[in-house]
């Protein structure tokens, strides 16, 4: 069996903090598991109702996602492009760009590089790190 794409060549990544991955639109949203939501709610010390009303919206399929402003910026993205809830950010944010669909092929990886300027820059990422991210994505609770 062929090795996965990310083991056939070293993947480089270095986040520049450009925040493009924090901007919703074109069917891109920050999805939340119930664990993600509860962790963030606790960090902000808010009631369940207030947190839901203020920080969550639903997609047309009914999935909860982080609310975003008119320009698509995540509700937690500050003016300086830093994340207000960085220590407890959703798994989707923690694992980006090492998602199964992005690391599945060179084509997918290169396509994502059109959105994320950190892809193909910076240091080579150890395979073990990529595997850990992928495992976290695959085991993410609903």
Closest CB to ligand SF4 among 47 and 79? Answer: 79
Question: Which residues make Cβ contacts (< 8 Å) with residue 102, sequence separation at least 6?
Answer: 108, 109, 112
Residue 113 near ligand SF4 by CB under 6 A: no
Closest CB to ligand SF4 among 5 and 99? Answer: 99
H helices then E strands: how many in the chain?
Answer: 6, 4
Cis peptide before 88 (omega within 30 of 0): no
Report yes or no: 30 and 92 within 8 Å, Cβ to Cβ.
yes
CA dist., res. 78 & res. 2, Å (int): 43
Binding segment (CB under 6 A) for ligand SF4, from list 15-23, 45-53, 98-106, 134-142: 15-23
Residue 102 near ligand SF4 by CB under 6 A: no
Residue 19 near ligand SF4 by CB under 6 A: yes
Binding site for ligand SF4 (CB under 6 A): 15-22, 30, 66, 74, 76-77, 83, 85, 89-90, 93, 96, 116-118
């Amino acid at each position: 069996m062929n090795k996965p794409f990310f083991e056939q060549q070293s993947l480089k990544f270095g986040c520049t903090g450009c925040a493009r991955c924090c901007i919703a639109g074109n069917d891109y949203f920050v999805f939340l598991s119930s664990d993600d939501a509860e962790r963030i709610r606790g960090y902000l010390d808010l009631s369940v109702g207030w947190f839901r009303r203020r920080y969550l919206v639903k997609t047309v399929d009914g999935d909860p996602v982080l609310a975003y402003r008119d320009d698509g910026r995540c509700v937690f993205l500050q003016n300086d492009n830093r994340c207000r809830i960085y220590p407890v950010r959703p798994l989707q944010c923690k694992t980006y760009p090492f998602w199964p669909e992005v690391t599945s092929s060179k084509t997918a990886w290169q396509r994502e590089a059109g959105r994320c300027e950190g892809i193909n820059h910076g240091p080579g990422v150890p395979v073990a790190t990529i595997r850990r991210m992928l495992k976290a994505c695959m085991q993410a609770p609903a």
